[in-house]
Each structure stands twice: as C-alpha cells, then as structure tokens.
Amino acid sequence: MKVLVTGGCGFIGSNVVDAYLDEGYDVAVVDDLSTGKKENINPKAQLYICDICKEEVEEVFLKERPDIVNHHAAQISVPFSVQDPLFDAEVNIKGIIRLLMLSIKYKVKKFIFSSTGGAIYGEADIVPTKEDYVPEPASPYAISKLSSEKYIKFFFNHYGLDYTILRYSNVYGPRQIPHGEAGVVAIFTEKLINGIHPTLNHFPDAPQGMIRDYCYVKDVARANIIATKNKKTGIFNIGTGKGTTTIALYKEIVKILRENGVSIPQTFDEPIRATARPGDIRVSTLNVEKAEKELGWIAIYDIRKGLSETIDWYLKK
Ligand SMILES: NC(=O)c1ccc[n+]([C@@H]2O[C@H](COP(=O)([O-])OP(=O)(O)OC[C@H]3O[C@@H](n4cnc5c(N)ncnc54)[C@H](O)[C@@H]3O)[C@@H](O)[C@H]2O)c1
C-alpha cells in the first residue's frame, strides 16, 4: 500500500512517515522544505521537493499512484496567518483543493487530513471540547483549517472520496520547530538548554498561563496509522483530554533538564512574564471519547514520559 505524505519533512509529518514505514507501507513525501528539513526524512521514503500549490505536484501523483494521501503540509503559524491571511489561504485552502482534485483524478482511496482541535473551537464554553461543538475559529489559520474540512466533506459527498480528519490538540515531541502552531515545548526547551531565560505569556488574571492539552507526537503518528487502516470516515479529536497550565509545563521541563545534568540557574525557576498575545486562547482541551470508541485510539504517553523523550532528543541533537 502506497501512502503519499505531504509535509513529510516537517515535525509531525516526519514522525508519521516513520510510523508508516514501521508498519510496512511504501511512503512517498512531497515537501517544499519551507519549514521542514531534509534530515528529518527517513531514507526509505521517496522524497519529492515540490510545492503543493504548484501544478508540478501532479507529476508526483502520476509517478507514485498513491492509495492514501496523508496531508500534513501547511502554513502552520497562527500569528503569521494574522499578518498575511492571503498567503495562509493560498497554501492551506488552495493547496488542499489541488490535492483533493488530484486524489479524485488518480483514484486515491482515502484522504487523511491534519486539522486543529487546538485552534478550531476558539475559546469554547465547554471543555474538554467535543467534535460536535460549533467551531469558532479565531484566526485565519483556524478558518483555513475549518474550510479545508468543508472541502474534504464536499469531495466525499460529491465524488465519494473517503476521508478521516484528525483534529490535533497541542502536539509536541522530537523535531518540533519553535514557531509552529504549538511550539511552547520547543521554545522553553531550546532556550533553557542555551542558557536563555524563557518568557511566559499570560492574561493578567491567569498568572499560571494558558491551559492546553499536550499530546505526544508518537501518539499522534499512531492515530494516523489507525485512521489509515480503519474504514471510518469522519472527524476525530486527537489529544489527551487533560489540561496542563503553561507554568506547570515550564516547571516540568526545568525539572527534567536538571535531572539530565543541564545547569539551570535558580533565577530561572520562574519564567519572565509577558502579556498574552492577540488571538491567544485561555483554555483548550479536547474530549477524545469518540476516537477511543470508534477508532480504538487513546494517548499512551503522559506529559512526563513525553517530555522526557523529547528532552532526551534535544540533548542528543
Ligand atoms: N504542531 C501542532 O501542535 C499542530 C496542531 C494541530 C494541527 N497541526 C497540523 O499538523 C500539520 C503539520 O504541522 P507541524 O507542526 O509538523 O509543522 P511543520 O512546519 O513542521 O510541518 C509542515 C511541513 O509542510 C511543509 N510545507 C509547508 N508548505 C508547503 C507547501 N506549499 N508545499 C509543500 N510542503 C509544504 C513544510 O516544509 C513542513 O515540512 C500542519 O497541517 C498543521 O497545521 C499541527
């Protein structure tokens, strides 16, 4: 079975590629290396350096004839989407439409899409939030992800293209870059290792910071394998269902780094404080019962185990 992973040189995509190869799939990757890195890619995968927005991407479909398209390529920065919503829409909306059209033309059996549970629901009144909560996207990035979901549903209804949409919470782990959708683990870890005092952004009445559902990338990669094997069509939240404050996350990272022999001054026990940024959401956690019930998927890594593996990777880098 051949899988085409778009964005396979990026943080999550490259971990998904590894998981597919471990399961014996043939894997081809399309990536323009705008944020992804060649060194992330498993040598067993066939890499095409190509922009999903360009016509040339059809050559990859023609040559590889994938059974499954797993779409991870995206403009991933929420603040950048606010600065340049047009560019965000070019990549995140027009890009997916091109891939969906090619999937029909080349008779792809299933389309898997990485959406965002962390951004799509906005500041939800009900947390952990379920898939049927009416999304209130608060940024062009989240709007483009919601609109991608609607295009996928159109291609399913109109052409019968099977799909699974995975709405990720805040994903963290090896190969993460600091400026993505949910880069706080990468930001804190890289700064602390390099002796730089990190900053915690928070609302004035919430000094503990935001509350987020941190999900380890290997759990996310496993969800993609299950979605590939499973016949289910639909939208599934992928997260842990648990909330962690930014300050608790910070302290856990400091603790694990010190346990690993990294010298961190006492003055760093508390981060520098700064105000929340426009578009910041106070609380975001996902109800993941549907994924457990219908896909048989549940996050295995707790935050301590996931952070330990992540920090281990940063220290060996
Ligand atoms: N990181 C998270 O917590 C999170 C949460 C929810 C959803 N997501 C989604 O998961 C996916 C992967 O995110 P990530 O955090 O691994 O980001 P990433 O930047 O590491 O990966 C994105 C990859 O897509 C590639 N890419 C970007 N534009 C492209 C284009 N036009 N053509 C071809 N390749 C292109 C980049 O080079 C990169 O390798 C994205 O769709 C993102 O929206 C991420």
Calculate how far, in angstroms, residue 293's C-alpha sits from the geometric centre of ligand 1: 28
303/52 Cα distance (integer angstroms): 34
pLDDT in tens, 183-216: 899 999 999 999 999 999 999 999 999 999 999 9
68: Cβ contacts below 8 Å, ≥ 6 apart? 1, 2, 3, 4, 108, 109, 110, 111, 112, 228
DSSP secondary-structure letter at 265?
-
Domains and CATH numbers, the chain: 2-172+214-239 (3.40.50.720)
Strands (E), 96-138: 110-116
161/187 Cα distance (integer angstroms): 38
The two beta strands, 162-168 and 211-212, are unpaired
DSSP secondary-structure letter at 128?
S
pLDDT (mean) for 216-224: 98
Quick check: 177 pLDDT over 90? no
pLDDT in the model for residue 233:
95
pLDDT (mean) for 163-177: 96
> Catalytic annotation on 121?
no
Instruction: State the catalytic residue, choosing from 20, 141, 250, 314.
Output: 141
Residue 183, CA distances (Å) to 175, 180, 186 in order: 11, 5, 5
Pocket test for ligand 1, best of 9, 11, 147, 214 (most atoms within 8 A of CB): 11
Ligand 1 and 32: CB distance under 6 A: yes
Closest CA to 183 of 8, 35, 57, 48: 35
DSSP secondary-structure letter at 39?
G
